[in-house]
Amino acid sequence: MVSLPHSVNPVKLAVDDVAVSYSGKTVLKGVTFDIHEHEIFGIIGPANSGKTSFLKTLNRMDIFNPAMSFTGRISFSGQDIRTWRNVYSLRSRIGVVFPLPVGLPLTVYENVAFAPRLAGVSRKEDLDIIVERCLARAALWDEVKDRLETLGSLLSGGQQQRLTIARALSQDPELLMLDEFSIAVDPVTTMRIEDVLKDLKKEITIVLVTNLVQQARRLADRMALFLDGEVVEVGVTEEMFAGHVKDQRTKDYLDGRFG
């Protein structure tokens, strides 16, 4: 599918006045913006600005933490995520990649085949196709095609992170969230994963949380600056880096004056 300019692509995720708190302490408030289909939407900001907490709301990870609560409305493909009766079905459509590669204690093959098996795919021929396709989309197939029966934990750190991406893709998500994916991988692998993400946005929508403003510049079509639990500004990435911002704090952050 050809990616259209963000302004004409349909809205994939509509976020309206979202607030997040832990044990009654508010860490995020008033978050409102839309994310469009087939765009990479960057979320930047210093540590403890609420970026990861926001990600957790998108596929209802709050249910794992009784102290965490959120208010407001998040609509995914037009449906309020809190009206989804099957939260696991929601998570199959919204994949997530965490900062550190967290592999299952399984072979490379079974790491990718795990979710499809749970979904009822049992024929080896079908699983073979899924595993190869997902590893190829994560730019890992050529490196591991002769080591599919090797434990995933024996791969290099960069390969394990790409295996994590392949596993997230095995459910054919419509939206993929990445939280500081490059924190534990080398610069060369980081660039390879960035190339993967640029290709993937032709097929899915991507939300990218990063502390690296130049990474956001390379990847994001649009981005939002989070600061002290609020969204300071949302805009087109290149326009913001060119100085076309509404808030001086945005320019100061992009120029490296704080962070």
In a domain, 86, yes or no: yes
CB 170 within 8 A of CB 104: no
Q: Which residues contact 238 (CB under 8 A, 6 or more apart)?
A: 217
In a domain, 18, yes or no: yes
The tokens for 55 are 């990600």
Model-level pTM? 0.89
In a domain, 1, yes or no: no
pLDDT at 25: 93
Query: How many structural domains is the chain composed of?
Result: 1
Residue 146: is its pLDDT beyond 70?
A: yes
In which domain, by residue range, is 62 found? 11-254
pLDDT at 103: 67
In a domain, 244, yes or no: yes
Q: How far apart are the first and last CA of the chain?
A: 37
- Could you give the CA distance from residue 138 to residue 161 in angstroms, rounded to a whole number? 9
- Could you give the CA distance from residue 81 to residue 194 in angstroms, rounded to a whole number? 28
In a domain, 6, yes or no: no
CATH of the domain at 203: 3.40.50.300
Average pLDDT in the chain? 90
In a domain, 3, yes or no: no
In a domain, 259, yes or no: no
Instruction: Kindly state the average pLDDT of the residues 235-252.
Output: 94
- Could you give the CA distance from residue 87 to residue 110 in angstroms, rounded to a whole number? 23
When pLDDT is cut at 50, 70 and 90, the band that residue 232 belongs to is very high
CB 205 within 8 A of CB 217: no
Instruction: Kindly state the average pLDDT of the residues 197-215.
Output: 93
Pick from 237, 236, 98: which is nearest to 179 by CA? 98
Alpha-carbon distances, residue 27 vs 4, 139, 158, 170, 214 (angstroms): 34, 36, 32, 33, 26
Residue 85: is its pLDDT beyond 90?
A: no
Alpha-carbon distances, residue 107 vs 61, 113, 151, 157, 230 (angstroms): 26, 10, 4, 15, 42
Instruction: Kindly state the average pLDDT of the residues 18-37.
Output: 94
When pLDDT is cut at 50, 70 and 90, the band that residue 259 belongs to is low
CB 153 within 8 A of CB 85: no
Burial of 106 (0-12, 13-18, 19+ CB in 10 A): middle
pLDDT at 1: 36
- Could you give the CA distance from residue 22 to residue 66 in angstroms, rounded to a whole number? 9
Instruction: Kindly state the average pLDDT of the residues 47-68.
Output: 89
Instruction: Kindly state the average pLDDT of the residues 110-122.
Output: 91
Instruction: Kindly state the average pLDDT of the residues 42-49.
Output: 93
Residue 117: is its pLDDT beyond 80?
A: yes
CB 49 within 8 A of CB 229: yes
In a domain, 219, yes or no: yes
